[in-house]
Chains A and B, each alone.
Chain A
């Protein structure tokens, strides 16, 4: 516990996985459509809810891959 630890870094190529999860939900042309509907829900709504999975997958992947 008391010996000095080796220097470590938060840098990792895995961190780039986070970028699409931030950018994709901010491109309206991808989701600003009514069709196709899913269970009667316009694409605008169900696809943006589906982006939640992208965010979860990206954060989970980075967490797992960079865990020491």
Chain B
């Protein structure tokens, strides 16, 4: 452990500095009263372009991403690069959708995507389904952030569960105290550190390994020597469909996650969101460069600790950089886990408070009560995430996260399409959700992975020949499930109309979707709407 002492000291120092900021954040852009969801859960809904950029960037590009994407390239090659087209197409794809969500949420004082569904379709059941889907999809995502920290700790030779528990206890304490302001403030440090580390890595490491040409040649040699047919530094005829459906499906899912919505709703105006859609791809460039670290690890002859491929990037840093800079790089990953974990737990807590507690347990809850329930729930969520990692095989969290991506997509017809059209009947949407969920589960169950001895839930690439098609092509399971969802939703909508089923009340007006800051209906101090 002695050889890592410099790294550990620097890691710990930066970690503590950032934790201090987390607690101080409660006073930053101070509100009169943190005891409402607008303040605790959305930071006062007043973040400008810069803060939103750091906050949403820190939220979407997580520590797990930074560790797992290069690990994917390390293991499978070109397929892992799907993260780049995914984060490239997402912004032009969602730009016009998000500003509508912002507007309607500000006019009606909505906090969560399920809140919107409640008002739009007048269906508490549909809102509950959306809320539960969001919570279930987010939980394993939080657990995965711990895997990022764990990979770093492992590489530093720090073993045992205690350091992880302490790190998450600190995180839980300042999120409780400061709400969304904490990750917003910490994101500045996190992203600055990550940008520095990656810029240095992308210049310094190739220079030591003989240039990019040598790095890609080493990767090509490695894949040529493995028996697996799907790997290589280019795509093959069988995984191209998987590549693009996974990229598109992930892009469609990204802003359905409650924590992404939280970041968007916390911004000050539509302009801030639009401007960020062209500024956020800077992180995609960063992610693309980080992905290449996987090939650098191959060229440097890194072997994973145990069977944990998530340790390849930390080990690459450890081998290449001087100790003090490795410490900085590890801190960047560790802190990188804290920002999204905080936002995710806030988002999950808001879903519980708004769409379960207030809807079903205490309809007359005051703002202060809502804030208190959310704060407590955020603690519960984090304890759950820690227990997930400590008690269950971490691989289980990775599988759950995979499932999470597939199930969150099933809220697309209600949330995203609902922003544009009221054509779907609420019964149709509920049926579509159920069909999509079932289809997704069945598809994932039937995907095996010989590499890690999984007979079921072995990945997201569904072989089309299992549907009787004469091909070796694979497709992203979530994408297929979404198609099932849409078809069922449309058919049941037609059926429900014919049978004259009640449409439910649409609480929104067309003009609500284009309202902007400064309009009379967008209040400076948003009153949270009641549940009706």
**Chain A residues close to B by CB (< 8 Å):** 1-5, 7-10, 15, 18-19, 21-22, 25-28, 32-34, 37, 39-42, 44-45, 48-49, 51-52, 54-56, 58-60, 62-63, 66-67
Contact = CB atoms under 8 A, between A and B. Distances in A.
A44 B234 contact: yes
Contacts of A28: 235, 240, 243-244
Contacts of A3: 520
Report whether over half of chain A's contact residues are helix, strand or loop; otherwise say mixed: helix
Given A39-B212, A51-B88, 11 more contacts: A7-B514, A15-B96, A18-B92, A21-B88, A21-B92, A25-B84, A25-B89, A41-B216, A44-B233, A48-B81, A52-B288
Interface residues of B, number: 44
A66 B89 CA distance: 20
A63 B100 CA distance: 14
A19 B235 CA distance: 24
B93 interface: yes
B95 A45 contact: no
A42 B89 contact: no
B248 A9 contact: no
A40 to B, nearest CB: 3
B394 interface: no
A21 B96 CA distance: 14
Contacts of A60: 278
Contacts of A63: 274-275, 277-278
B92 A22 contact: yes
A56 B514 CA distance: 23
30 contacts: A2-B520, A5-B520, A9-B514, A18-B93, A22-B89, A22-B92, A25-B84, A28-B244, A32-B234, A32-B240, A34-B233, A39-B211, A39-B212, A40-B213, A40-B214, A40-B216, A48-B85, A48-B288, A49-B288, A49-B289, A52-B284, A54-B88, A55-B284, A58-B92, A59-B277, A60-B278, A63-B274, A63-B277, A66-B274, A67-B271
B89 A55 contact: yes
Nearest to A15: B96
B288 A22 contact: no
Interface of B: 78, 81, 84-85, 88-89, 91-93, 95-96, 99-100, 211-216, 233-235, 240, 243-244, 247-248, 271, 274-275, 277-278, 281, 284-285, 288-289, 292, 511, 513-514, 518-520
6 pairs of A and B residues whose beta carbons are closest in the complex: A40-B213, A40-B212, A59-B278, A21-B92, A18-B92, A60-B278
Contact of A55 (B92, B214, B235): B92
Nearest to B211: A40
A10 to B, nearest CB: 6
A34 B224 CA distance: 15
Contacts of A49: 84, 285, 288-289
Contacts of B78: 44
Contacts of B285: 49, 52
Given A8-B514, A26-B248, A59 B271 contact: no
Nearest to B95: A59
Nearest to B275: A63
A5 B517 CA distance: 12
Nearest to B210: A40
Contacts of B514: 7-10
A26 B278 CA distance: 19
A52 B87 CA distance: 9
B420 to A, nearest CB: 10
A41 to B, nearest CB: 5
A9 B211 CA distance: 51
A39 B476 CA distance: 33
Contact of A32 (B89, B213, B216, B235): B235
Nearest to A28: B240
Contacts of A32: 234-235, 240
A20 to B, nearest CB: 9
* Among B89, B96, B243, B288: residue with most chain A CB under 10 A: B89
A10 B100 contact: yes
